[in-house]
Structure 1
């Protein structure tokens, strides 16, 4: 009986560790209307199915996506691209791409159309996210680490809702971004990297969805006539902020007015995992009951011989 309880405890611990270790993954898409000398052959709709970290994503974008030609500081720098956009979203998880009903249909529609209609396109369906660092910082530091000749930080601008520590130029509205497109059309200029956070702008009424902002940005780029490339990456809401500082709780409980946004939401993947975990618990309990019953039955001793009844 003690051995059965010990085995059950080990199994429960293993299940808890597997559940806690499962990373939250989100997709990333890289595309350009044309292959601006990124590679010797035309890459279209290339998919990398490995699960990678944000810094590995940055390395792949530099090496395979050709961003090292204009993001890194190089002496033989040629301006093949006018502007590179790093669009940071917060809506999509990897499992959302295949769903029929989308939280932001405009976002998924823009991504699919841009990915399939561009002559240069790559996708990374499984980018493992963590709570340790904001996605913009992870990607920018990944660019810096993999640029052998240095990183051109002076050509990076941000929207004002991004979390950055550097004292860099910020965009406060779409008009500011549009003006920068016009300036970048100067042949003698250098490629600018614009980091656009999907939460919008601080001083504006952020009624537009992430998909509408991305669609508007793509439209502005097309109208400006600029040579551009876009990397979309997502760090979904729902990841726990500073999990070590939060008390243990039942995060699958229904959302209340005092529940922090994102903590009370349980999507389809969450429901599947919770159902499997509950089923495992029920199965373990039934297994313990079966083992206990067998032990009890084995402990029943019956006589091998019976005395003959005495005659009166």
Structure 2
């Protein structure tokens, strides 16, 4: 009996260890105010619950999201969208979606409002992230791999926080630069080609606004210009790209600000998940010990099979 319970305890420990070592997932949202011929039927608030990789996300965005006509260099393809935005964040994890208190309330409100009020919208709640490659590089390489005729990189612009852009490409250093680009594309775009703007984490080097404020301002700029646009928001939570060999621990519970001093913050989603798993594991071990002790005590009780008659 004791050997059986030891085996059960070992299985529970292995399962808890596997759950704690699982990949970090982050959400991605794709929307467009109007359905610019992305699909024959109206696709609104479509959710894919499978856990996918960034490369699979890029493939789904091209095929199901209609970005193949925007990003890929197809001859004779009709470009019904003026601007396509790839907005890369660093705040949201998949576990943050269901929380009442968000890390960036402005970001959650903008995503919810844009997603629900658009005629075309798709959600990917579980995109598995890794620390091997930045998300911007993964998605752009995914676009290039899944485009049959290659990706039209001559129509891609970047913000100055991106690392995938080359030095000969003009980067956007402020929201005014993006606004001027949108106005120029709206005023003079005879070829009908779509401009892809890669908005990397942090937006701009000289930035004091939050991620939600930047996304809200970007949406406002596109709406005021009356541009036909579509936006893909994807998140790679902060800290995944740190070099583990340079850290004394596997993970910091502090985020760096603009200064060199780390500032301690509250326990984030990943920290809360791991702490909950450890608490459950400890409680399970205690309950198993109590159960095994109780069973051993009950098995140790030896009562006689016959009782003598009471004497008068």
What is the TM-score when the length of structure 2 is the normalising length?
0.82
Aligned to 1:188: 190
CA distance in 2, matches of 1:178, 1:148: 31
Give the RMSD, CA atoms, in angstroms: 3.2
- Is structure 2 residue 229 aligned with structure 1 residue 199? no
Distance 1:242 1:290, change over 3 A: same
1:134-193 deviation per Cα after TM superposition (whole angstroms, max 9, x unaligned):
111111011011001111111111000112153433111111111111221224242111
Aligned to 2:115: 115
- Aligned pairs for 1:249-260 within 5 A: none
The answer to whether the 8 A contact 2:132-2:241 is kept is no
CA distance in 2, matches of 1:148, 1:298: 71
SS at match of 1:181: helix
Give the unaligned 5+ runs of structure 2: 303-312
Consecutive aligned runs of 4 or more in structure 1 exceeding 6 Å deviation = 1-7, 292-301
Q: How many residues align?
A: 298
1:241-285 deviation per Cα after TM superposition (whole angstroms, max 9, x unaligned):
2335544568579x9x998568x7523563354233234235335
CA distance in 2, matches of 1:160, 1:86: 14
CA distance in 1, matches of 2:208, 2:151: 35
- Is structure 2 residue 199 aligned with structure 1 residue 234? no
The answer to whether the 8 A contact 1:156-1:194 is kept is yes
CA distance in 2, matches of 1:214, 1:121: 16
Aligned to 2:83: 83
1:18-51 deviation per Cα after TM superposition (whole angstroms, max 9, x unaligned):
3112x22111111111111111112111111111
Distance 1:220 1:288, change over 3 A: same
CA distance in 1, matches of 2:147, 2:251: 44
SS at match of 1:157: strand
CA distance in 2, matches of 1:129, 1:176: 31
Give the unaligned 5+ runs of structure 1: 302-312
Distance 1:250 1:226, change over 3 A: closer
Distance 1:5 1:39, change over 3 A: closer
